[in-house]
Structure 1
Amino acid sequence: MKSLIETIVEPLVDHPEHIVVTEQEEENKVVYHLQVHENDVGKVIGKNGRIAKSIRTVVYAAGMKSNKKIYLDIM
């Protein structure tokens, strides 16, 4: 899942070397934390959060096979 998030975000940012995805697994959920360069945060979030919502939709759909709820936090 981490590679999927990196693959989606990489073309959106100017500094792809600063993409960091960390995974925090708990009992019934998995939280992915996405960190990008401070100048790229707006590009990942998009106008009114549209790009962030689209990224989350793809990640949630990819994680439907697991029995755990998946969350994506953009920092």
Structure 2
Amino acid sequence: MKALIQTIIEPLVDHPDSIVITEKDEPVKVVYHLEVHPDDVGKVIGKNGRIAKSIRTVVYAAGMKSNKKIYLDIM
């Protein structure tokens, strides 16, 4: 799942080296924390959060195979 998030985010940002994805695995859910360079936060979130919502939709759909709920937090 980290590779999928990385693949989606890299073309959007100007500083792909500063992308940090951490995974927190809990009994009923998996939480991914995405951190990007401060200059790229607006590009990842998008106008009115549209890009962030689209990224979350793709990640949630990819996580449907597992029995756990998938969450993506953008820091």
> TM over 0.5, yes or no?
yes
What letter corresponds to residue 22 of structure 2 in structure 1? T
- Unaligned runs of 5+ residues in structure 2 are none
Deviation at residue 58 of structure 1 after TM alignment: 0.2
Q: Aligned partners of 2:21, 2:59: CA distance in 1, in Å? A: 13
Q: Aligned partners of 1:5, 1:58: CA distance in 2, in Å? A: 9
Q: Aligned partners of 1:6, 1:20: CA distance in 2, in Å? A: 9
Partner of 1:65: 65
Partner of 1:45: 45
State the secondary structure of the residue aligned to 1:31. Answer: strand
**Alignment TM-score, normalising by the size of structure 2:** 0.99
Misfit runs of 4+, over 4 Å:
none
- Unaligned runs of 5+ residues in structure 1 are none
Deviation at residue 61 of structure 1 after TM alignment: 0.2
Q: How many residues align?
A: 75
Partner of 1:74: 74
Q: Aligned partners of 2:22, 2:56: CA distance in 1, in Å? A: 15
